[in-house]
Amino acid sequence: MNKQPLLASCRNISKSYQKGQILITPLEKLNLDIFQGEFLALMGPSGSGKTTLLNLLAGIDSPTHGELLFKGEDMAHYNRRKLTRFRAKNVGYIFQLYHLVPVLTAYENVELPLLIQNMSSSERHRRVTKALELCHIDDRSDHYPRQLSGGQEQRVAIARALVTDPPLIVADEPTGDLDSESAHKILELLAYLCSELQKTVVMVTHDPKAAQVAHRTLHLDKGVLVENQDNAGRYDKESSCG
């Protein structure tokens, strides 16, 4: 048995999209347990449903069928308002192309998720400064995204994902647009979030080397999820994936 508490569970999850006459079902009866503090890599061919699964875990979308438990509560039928609240509290999202707001500085980009929270400006300042420091990008806080390298932009994006202190960080190909040295720094940072801050990280990647930093690697293909036996890391595989 895994000694870490469960963070999220997919129970017989299916997701379909109706496009005109065609029904697309990238995820079908998928089962997955995700434990607190683990680093999970998700691989698979293009179109296999990796982003779809990430979006379900992040509360950006809802499953068509099945149970999606987060800390034991089924969020499969949450309405938009509940999903928005869930995301603000629990999830930091990191994208391949950073998605920073170009007219805001690095500092202001990181501050953005806090503006919808009821928080004093001094507390906001404390949190933004801490997140920028953690991501080693505090020396660029007054730079605009266009004045940053790709790796620096991604570190700002990670600071933005972290600033609300969510238990879950999801990252969709976070190193896909970076050179190998910048990618390495980003992967180190994500691993640090798990080991030192007890964050749970679910990362989609096409790069087997990037996946090696994770505790577990899952392969998604034709709706089936298979665990890589090579890098099971410190997590007990039993009953964690099906």
Tokens of 242: 């099906």
Residue owning tokens 């890098």: 231
Helix-strand-coil split of the chain, %, nearest 5: 35, 25, 40
> Considering only 30-38, 48-56, 100-108, 147-155, which stretch makes contact with ligand ATP by CB under 6 A?
48-56
52 binds, among ligand ATP, Mg ion, none (CB under 5 to 8 A by kind): ligand ATP
Minimum CB distance to Mg ion, residue 60 (Å): 12
Q: How far is the CB of 33 from ligand ATP (least distance, A)?
A: 20
Residues numbered 113 to 132 that lie near Mg ion (CB under 5 A) are none
Work out how close the CB of 136 gets to Mg ion at its nearest, in angstroms, rounded to a whole number: 27
Cβ nearer to Mg ion, comparing 96 with 240: 96
Please state the closest distance from residue 19 (CB atom) to ligand ATP, in A.
5
Q: Nearer to ligand ATP by C-beta: 41 or 134?
A: 41
By a kind-dependent CB cut-off of 5 to 8 A, residue 140 interacts, out of Mg ion, ligand ATP, none, with none
Tell which positions 3-42 bind ligand ATP, by CB under 6 A. 17, 19, 24, 26
CA–CA gap between residue 144 and residue 131 (Å, rounded): 17
Beta bridge pairs of residue 170: 93, 202
Strands (E), 44-162: 65-70, 73-74, 91-94
**Residues 2, 192, 187, 105: what is their CA dihedral angle, to the nearest 10 degrees?**
130
Helix (H/G/I), strand (E/B), else coil: 230:
coil
Binding segment toward Mg ion, per CB under 5 A, in 4-12, 20-28, 46-54, 62-70: 46-54
Within 51-80, the residues that bind Mg ion by CB under 5 A are: 51
**Residue 48 interacting with ligand ATP (CB under 6 A):** yes
**Do 153 and 42 meet the contact criterion of CB atoms below 8 Å apart?**
no
Of 5, 47, 72, 208, the one binding ligand ATP by CB under 6 A? 47
> Closer to Mg ion at the Cβ: 51 or 105?
51
At residue 26, the 3 state secondary structure works out as strand
* Sign of the C-alpha dihedral computed for residues 141, 211, 46 and 181 taken in this order: positive
What's the CA gap between 145 and 187, in Å, rounded? 20
Three-point CA angle 112, 115, 119, nearest 5°? 135
- Site for ligand ATP (CB under 6 A): which residue of 9, 32, 40, 50? 50
The residues of the shown chain that bind Mg ion, judged by CB under 5 A, are: 51
The residues of the shown chain that bind ligand ATP, judged by CB under 6 A, are: 17, 19, 24, 26, 44, 46-52
